């Protein structure tokens, strides 16, 4: 899992995809014909369905919490703690997407873009910890 995440076959998945999304959402904002529908639908999907947001990160965080209890790994515990924050950041992105739908103000896209860059970095670091955990356990 961690090895695959750290070595995606294409640049639009995993941490590389998140980083790419940080710039693509600005283009999407400029090109969409229905900002409210497109961004609020995406916000809903990030929160309630799919793997592209806080819903999945909350599930993954909980999985890591259970894993820590089973294998007592320091690196897994660190990754679990990372994913607590990562899930919160994804929720913030979905809230910003909802706000851009309400206001059509690009400032929410710019803030979401900044957070996506941070998420990309944090997820990469967390997965590097998990990769180490799989080697040492």
Per-residue pLDDT of 73-131, as tens digits, reads: 999 999 999 999 999 999 999 999 999 999 999 999 999 999 999 999 999 999 999 99
Residues contacting 136, CB < 8 A, separation 6+: 73, 75
Instruction: Please give the distance of CA 36 from its chain centroid, rounded to a whole number.
Output: 21
Tens digit of pLDDT for each residue in 39-76? 999 999 888 876 678 888 999 999 999 999 999 999 99
Q: How many Å apart are CA 59 and CA 112, to the nearest integer?
A: 22
N-to-C CA span, the chain: 15
pLDDT of residue 51: 67
Which tokens in the block code for residue 131?
């990769």
Question: Averaged over 7-19, what is the pLDDT?
Answer: 92
Are 85 and 122 within 8 A, CB to CB? Answer: yes
Percent of the chain at pLDDT above 90? 85
- The pTM assigned to this predicted structure is 0.93
pLDDT of residue 48: 83
Are 131 and 3 within 8 A, CB to CB? Answer: yes
Q: How many Å apart are CA 78 and CA 83, to the nearest integer?
A: 9
Instruction: Reduce the DSSP state of residue 34 to 3 states and report it.
Output: coil
Which tokens in the block code for residue 103?
């206001």
pLDDT of residue 115: 98
> What DSSP state is assigned to residue 12?
T
pLDDT of residue 86: 96
Q: How many Å apart are CA 29 and CA 48, to the nearest integer?
A: 22
């Amino acid at each position: 899992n961690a090895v695959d995440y750290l070595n995606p076959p294409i640049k639009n998945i995993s941490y590389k995809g998140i980083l790419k999304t940080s710039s693509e959402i600005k283009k999407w904002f400029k090109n969409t014909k229905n900002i409210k529908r497109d961004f609020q639908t995406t916000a809903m999907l990030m929160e309630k369905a799919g793997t592209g947001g806080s819903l999945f990160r909350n599930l993954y965080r909980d999985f890591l919490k259970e894993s820590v209890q089973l294998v007592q790994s320091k690196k897994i515990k660190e990754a679990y703690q990372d994913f607590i924050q990562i899930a919160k950041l994804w929720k913030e992105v979905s809230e910003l997407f909802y706000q851009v739908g309400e206001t059509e103000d690009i400032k929410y896209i710019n803030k979401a873009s900044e957070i996506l860059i941070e998420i990309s970095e944090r997820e990469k670091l967390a997965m590097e910890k998990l990769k180490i955990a799989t080697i040492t356990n």
